[in-house]
């Protein structure tokens, strides 16, 4: 079954720089650009190329996994984890398929991460967001414009194997050469109104929205010394305070809450001991960016 027809410009084979150039030109020529687009792009480019406050590679991780990482110095990917229950006989067909389309040489050596500009990453993957030092990211590190498993979902799915591999190739890039143009290309349709200049908080939200992000295929291993800082959303400390408030009102926390509080205390102590900066991030990413 042939796949749904996709936007030829975005899903084309040209470099991300060329794709962006063409997209901007088209916007101007057909009058959709508005007077602010050029300035928006200028602001975004400035924010994304700032060496101190620019985009970072982030990995979300749970408390227990973070404690083990700090203690053993070993961040584990899927292939290295002990398993509860029986083992699947073989990797999922979905994983085999997507890894093949991504043309990853030796998938077990790669650690999947995301690009963020401030914020606290994707909460679903763990309450702690490890921000990696920029110098840890080799310039030729591979990036992918979305969660690569979206290749299995319509409208991208439903093409032949060769077509999927070509499509995956179109959505790929490298950290130094393509990140800014790839991000700009993703942001273009979502740029704000034509009356105000875009802000850094809005840009942060456009770099990563919910679980929509640019994927990074980082060749391992990752070590605690690679962590620039650990951030988290204010939600967790708010939950801690809420539990403490209930406790003060003689309402006992559940066993799960007690264990959760214990782990959080251990993480705070371990991060302090490892001298890893640990802070809160607002969702917009303003005011708490990599300082």
Partner 1 sequence: MDVNSPPPPQGWHVDAWSVRDGMAFASYRSPDAITTATSSVFIGVPGLDVVPLGSVSPALWAARASFQDGLHDADGRSIAFDDLGQVRELVRRGFLAGGLGPGAPETGETPRGGPPDLPARLDGAFRETLLHARRMEFPGAAGGAAQRDEFFRSLCEPGTSEVVYELVRTFALAVVTLWRHRAAPLHEWSVGDAEDLLGWTGALFSVLWLHPSDALEHARRFDAELDVHEFFHAWRRWEYGAAAPPNALASAAPCPTRAGWDRRICRLSDKLLVLLAMDSALERMSDLGDLAPAILSSLIATRPPISGLLPYRDHFREHLRVALEWLSNQLPQRRLPDAAEQAIEQFVRDRLTPAH
What residue ranges bind partner 1 (CB under 8 A)? 59-65, 67-68, 70-72, 76-78, 81, 83-89, 91-92, 94-95, 98, 112, 122, 124-126, 147-150, 152-153, 211, 239, 243, 247, 250, 252-262, 265-266, 270
DSSP calls for 107-123: GGGEEEEEEESSS---G
- Which C-beta is closer to partner 1: that of 65 or that of 177? 65
**Longest distance between any two alpha carbons in the chain, whole Å:** 67
Least Å from the CB of residue 125 to partner 1: 5
Whole-angstrom Cα distance, residue 160 to residue 269? 51
Closest CA relative to residue 23, chosen from 5, 41, 10: 10
Peptide bond into 30 cis (omega under 30): no
For residue 289, the cross-strand partners are none
**What residues have CB less than 8 Å from 259, skipping those under 6 apart?**
none
Identity of the residue, 44 or 218, whose beta carbon is nearer to partner 1 in the bound complex: 218
CA distances from 238 to 101, 151, 232, 272, 276 (A): 42, 37, 11, 21, 22
Q: In angstroms, give the least distance from the CB of 198 to partner 1.
A: 26
**Between 199 and 283, CB nearer to partner 1:** 283
| Order of strands, sheet of 278-280, starting from the edge strand that comes earlier in the sequence | 172-174, 142-144, 215-219, 110-116, 56-61, 128-132, 227-232, 278-280
- 29 vs 251 by CB, closer to partner 1: 251
Question: Quick one: tokens of 224?
Answer: 């605690």
Residue in the block written with tokens 């400035």: 46
Helix (H, G, I), strand (E, B) or coil at 54: coil
> What's the min distance (Å) between Cβ of 253 and partner 1?
7
Q: Residue 19 or 186: which CB sits closer to partner 1? A: 186
* Residue among 31 and 105 whose Cβ is closer to partner 1: 105
Least separation, in Å, of the C-beta of 229 and partner 1?
A: 19
């Amino acid at each position: 079954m042939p796949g749904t027809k996709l936007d030829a410009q975005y899903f084309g084979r040209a470099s991300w720089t060329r794709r962006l150039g063409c997209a901007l030109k088209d916007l101007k020529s057909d009058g959709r650009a508005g007077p602010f687009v050029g300035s928006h792009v200028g602001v975004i480019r400035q924010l994304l190329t700032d060496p101190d406050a620019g985009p970072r590679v982030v990995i979300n991780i749970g408390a227990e996994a973070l404690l083990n990482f700090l203690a053993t110095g070993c961040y584990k990917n899927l292939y290295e984890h002990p398993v509860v229950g029986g083992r699947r006989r073989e990797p999922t067909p979905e994983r085999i398929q997507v890894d093949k389309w991504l043309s990853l040489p030796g998938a077990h050596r790669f650690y999947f991460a995301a690009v963020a500009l401030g914020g606290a990453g994707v909460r679903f993957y763990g309450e702690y967001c490890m921000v990696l030092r920029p110098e840890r990211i080799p310039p030729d590190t591979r990036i992918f414009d979305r969660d690569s498993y979206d290749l299995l979902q319509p409208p991208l799915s439903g093409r032949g194997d060769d077509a999927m591999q070509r499509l995956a190739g179109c959505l790929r890039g490298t950290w130094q050469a393509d990140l800014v143009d790839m991000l700009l290309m993703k942001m273009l349709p979502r740029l704000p109104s034509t009356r105000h200049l875009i802000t850094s908080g809005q840009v942060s939200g456009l770099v990563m929205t919910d679980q929509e992000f640019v994927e990074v295929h980082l060749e391992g291993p990752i070590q605690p010394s690679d962590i620039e800082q650990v951030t988290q959303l204010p939600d967790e400390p708010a939950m801690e305070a809420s539990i403490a408030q209930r406790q003060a009102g003689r309402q006992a926390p559940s066993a799960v809450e007690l264990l959760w509080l214990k782990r959080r205390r251990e993480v705070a102590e371990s991060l302090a001991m490892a001298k890893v900066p640990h802070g809160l991030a607002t969702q917009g990413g303003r005011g708490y960016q990599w300082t």
